Amino acid sequence: MNTLLFERGQRLSKRQTGFTLLGLLFLVAVLGLGLAALGSVWSTLNQREKEAELLFIGDQYRRALISYYRLGPGLDKHYPKKLADLLRDPRFPNTVRHLRRLRPDPISGGDWALLRDEEGGIKGVHSISTALPRKTAGFPRENAAFEGASQYADWQFVADK
């Protein structure tokens, strides 16, 4: 006989239990697709958050480099030789800070690539990442050059004196 006996004396045929298994497999497949879509959305949000952080931190470095250059004593205006000079300006006897702390590149998680002037001073920073940015338009005026960039390394935060 093709029946199964359950706790309360109910009888189900093997064909009916096959439909339950098929329904469970379908449910697992739908949940898997939903989780995959959720992972994709999370990845996009995470990348956009890192881009916003890159724009903020890069702008902080740009402002610190401008401050360092403009506060130079007398006519001897130049950019710092190392980023640590932005934390405590060695040109002054008292503590002058242009930046509170050095922060890593949020995209690569490592050091920044440095843009140097002809005297060897640091005049800007940029990410070392060659990944494709999600944001390609709608930048503020000071970052207008970033529009249409093909990689994060093209987002260069340069002090304009």
User: pLDDT, tens digit, for every residue of 92-115?
Assistant: 899 999 999 999 999 999 999 999
pLDDT digits (tens, 9 = 90+) for 37-53: 888 878 889 999 999 99
Which residues are bridge partners to 113 per DSSP?
A: 126
* CA-wise closest residue to 154 among 78, 83, 51, 60: 51
* CA-wise closest residue to 129 among 110, 103, 148: 110
pLDDT digits (tens, 9 = 90+) for 110-152: 999 999 999 999 999 999 999 999 998 999 999 999 999 999 9
Reply yes or no on whether the pLDDT at 8 is more than 80. no
Please give the structure tokens belonging to residue 91. 């040109």
Q: Is residue 14 part of a domain?
A: no
Q: Is residue 25 part of a domain?
A: no
Q: Is residue 84 part of a domain?
A: yes
C-alpha to C-alpha distance for 85 and 14, rounded to whole angstroms: 78
Q: What is the mean pLDDT of residues 52-60?
A: 96
Q: Is residue 112 part of a domain?
A: yes
- In the chain, the N- to C-terminal Cα span, in Å, equals 91
Domain count for the chain: 1
Q: Is residue 4 part of a domain?
A: no
HEC profile of 69-113: HHCCCCCCCCCCCCHHHHCCCCCCCCCCCCCCCCCCCCCCCCCCE
* CA-wise closest residue to 125 among 65, 49, 85: 65
Q: Is residue 76 part of a domain?
A: yes
Please give the structure tokens belonging to residue 76. 């001897």
Q: Give the chain's mean pLDDT.
A: 88
Is the pLDDT higher at 18 or at 95? 95
Residue 132 carries which DSSP code? P
Question: What is the model's pLDDT at position 1?
Answer: 47
Q: Is residue 69 part of a domain?
A: yes
- Altogether, the residues listed in the chain come to a count of 161
Torsional sign, CA 114, 118, 123, 124: negative
Question: What is the model's pLDDT at position 17?
Answer: 62
Q: Which domain holds residue 71?
A: 47-158
Q: Is residue 111 part of a domain?
A: yes
C-alpha to C-alpha distance for 121 and 94, rounded to whole angstroms: 22
Question: What is the model's pLDDT at position 10?
Answer: 62
Torsional sign, CA 71, 126, 82, 96: positive
